[in-house]
Amino acid sequence: MELCCSTTNASILQFKPYSSTYIPIHKPFFAPYSSSSLCFPIKLDNYQSYLNKPSSSTIFVAPSATNALAENIVEDDKLPAEIQVTTIQEPNSRLRLSVEVPTVVCDDCKGRVIKELIKKTKVPGFRPGNVPENILIGFVGKQNVQKSIIESILKRTLPHAVSSVSGKALKDSIRITTKFPDMEKTYNTLNLLRYDVIVDMAPEIKWVPENGYKDLKVVVEIDSEIDAQTACDEELKRRHKAMGVLKIVTDRGLQVGDVAVLDISATTVNEETSIIQKLPSAESKGFQFDTEDGDKVLPGFLNSIIGIQRGETKTFPFEFPESWKQEHLRGVNAEFTVECKELFYRDLPELNDSIADRLLPGCNTIEEVKNTLLERCQEMEKTAKEQAADNAILDQISKMIEVDVPQTIFEEQGRELYGSQLLQIQANTKLNEQQLGYLSSPKAVKDFLESQKENIINIIKQNLAVGDIFKRENLQFATEELIKEVENSIEEFKRQNQDYDEDRVKEQVQEILEGAKVLEFLREHAEIQYITK
């Protein structure tokens, strides 16, 4: 039975990382979108890597590197004629490039392929390099030669086709969407080549209002439980209770301070059929109920069983609160039956200086215990309030930008978020191969991306907003800090015997430090109001 209320505690709110599965850094865990790295390097070792390739990774490199690469390709490998590229804007910051390669370029590529084949192919009866073209084609196979020609055309023309978007396109987002048989048909019929290329572009951010992030007014709701004095009192009570001995109650009923072992069942009446139905999710056998938890377990439940004695059964009506975490029970009128199986009271030592060291090692008086616990709780309260404020700020700035999120970034963020959760599940639960296989399947990942779409997009918007602010405000951090955090992270990987990519570690550390600087800037310029729930 899940007898527990649903509450939000500011102290457990977390940053929403862009890449939380990779790097263990002991700082506010936020990795913003890197504003200094937007484009792709052109890889031409195999054109098939672009052919109908699903978008997956989104690793960025400096724009200058790609621009230089594209310029070198165009200059060093000039085509005998211009190719025609028609650009069509599509949703999600995506461009479709419709490419037409003229006959003269196709023929030039064909000549290069034939020349290379003549040079390398060994045909019986002919010396290398002296094989007639028709003999060569017959020996290699007309279809194989044609495939090589089309691949050569794609390999030569693709860099030229995408050169206009270099510095703006996302790495590994280039995909040739035209099917190979369709390209073959066009080439055979018209002696030219047509193909479409999809490219995800670096998203453009629009602030509404412009520069609105400089004048934030943030209201932060915090749980009363994080109040330092309240938390200190609760911790002292918890430590004191832990020193007590449970003894059986024989001469009275349940009162506050006792611990009862209860068998609980509940029923409700179906309004349509008037049939009494059990509520399995509200049943429990041997439930250990600490009365000092009171309404934290189930609001109003304690008052209904006060006075119950060992071996006694009580039945009473109860309406589940609207805040109940099991939605199907909210507002349901039920009838509870509770049997008290055992009843205990705590025999506690007197709260005086004689037990101070047992309550908190190193302390000699109760006053010293209280002061030390209060100092710890004040630090925890400060951290919790800062964390809650940061989350509220991030949530607000994500609502102040308009951006068309590319599918490449969405899938990358979603997969990393899913990977992080899967690692957490594995850490908490020993999964067998079948369970792990199911959770790692494409279907499981796809279902996660669909169900968490809104959350994933919100995380991306936060990252993009933070990266844009870092660039706009020309914020910086010390190089020494970057080096130190990279070293700490690598040491953590080594202690855990985990593989790591040093460049990727450095990239993520940089993103985290950028995020910390942005949050520092936003806190300084924000009007923050705290409200206790």
| pLDDT per position as a tens digit, 22-59 | 322 223 223 332 222 222 222 233 444 444 443 333 22
Given 142, 167, 201, the domain boundary residue is 201
How does pLDDT run across 137-148, given as a tens digit for each residue?
Answer: 888 888 999 999
**Is residue 410 located within the same domain as residue 509?**
yes
**Is residue 322 located within the same domain as residue 464?**
no
In-domain check, residue 298: yes
Question: Residue 288 sits in which domain range?
Answer: 245-347
In-domain check, residue 144: yes
Instruction: Determine the pLDDT at residue 341.
Output: 94
Top-confidence residue, 44 or 417: 417
Mean predicted confidence (pLDDT) in 279-303: 83
In-domain check, residue 361: no
**Is residue 377 located within the same domain as residue 524?**
yes
**Is residue 67 located within the same domain as residue 167?**
yes
**Is residue 487 located within the same domain as residue 376?**
yes
Question: For the whole model, what pTM was predicted?
Answer: 0.64
In-domain check, residue 270: yes
Instruction: Determine the pLDDT at residue 295.
Output: 65
**Is residue 134 located within the same domain as residue 261?**
no
**Is residue 395 located within the same domain as residue 289?**
no
Per-residue pLDDT band at 136 (split at 50, 70, 90): confident
Question: Helix crossing, 407-428 with 453-472: angle to 10°?
Answer: 110
How does pLDDT run across 334-366, given as a tens digit for each residue?
Answer: 899 999 999 999 999 999 999 999 999 999 999
In-domain check, residue 452: yes
**Interatomic CA distance for residues 533 and 432, integer angstroms:** 42
Top-confidence residue, 172 or 161: 161
Return the SS3 of 25: coil
**Interatomic CA distance for residues 17 and 26, integer angstroms:** 13
The conformational region for residue 139 under phi > 0 = left, psi -120 to 50 = alpha, else beta, is: alpha
Q: How far is CA 190 from CA 18, 65, 158, 184, in A?
A: 48, 37, 20, 10
**Is residue 163 located within the same domain as residue 62?**
yes
In-domain check, residue 356: no
DSSP letters for 417-454: HHHHHHHHHHHHS---HHHHHHHTSHHHHHHHHHHTHH
Q: How many CA atoms lie within 13 A of 182 on its CB side?
A: 9
**Is residue 56 located within the same domain as residue 105?**
yes
Instruction: Determine the pLDDT at residue 71.
Output: 37
CATH number at residue 497: 1.10.3120
Question: What residues pair up with 336 in beta bridges, in sequence order?
Answer: 266, 316
**Interatomic CA distance for residues 469 and 169, integer angstroms:** 21
In-domain check, residue 166: yes
**Long-range contacts of 495-500, Cβ-Cβ distance < 8 Å, separation of 24 or more:** 496/24
Residue 16 and residue 30 in contact, taking contact as beta carbons nearer than 8 Å: yes
Instruction: Say how many domains are in the chain.
Output: 3
**Is residue 389 located within the same domain as residue 413?**
yes
Return the SS3 of 363: coil
Instruction: Determine the pLDDT at residue 224.
Output: 78
**Interatomic CA distance for residues 195 and 200, integer angstroms:** 17
In-domain check, residue 468: yes
Per-residue pLDDT band at 420 (split at 50, 70, 90): confident
Write down the mean pLDDT value for the chain.
82
Per-residue pLDDT band at 519 (split at 50, 70, 90): very high
- Counting residues of the chain whose pLDDT is more than 90, the rounded percentage is 51
Phi (first) and psi of residue 261, to 5 degrees: -105, 120
**Is residue 454 located within the same domain as residue 402?**
yes
**Interatomic CA distance for residues 386 and 528, integer angstroms:** 10
**Is residue 340 located within the same domain as residue 377?**
no
CATH number at residue 328: 3.10.50.40
Given 201, 232, 259, the domain boundary residue is 201
Most confident of 71-80, 326-335, 414-423: 414-423
Phi (first) and psi of residue 221, to 5 degrees: -90, 125
Per-residue pLDDT band at 239 (split at 50, 70, 90): very high
Instruction: Determine the pLDDT at residue 472.
Output: 93
**Interatomic CA distance for residues 486 and 482, integer angstroms:** 6
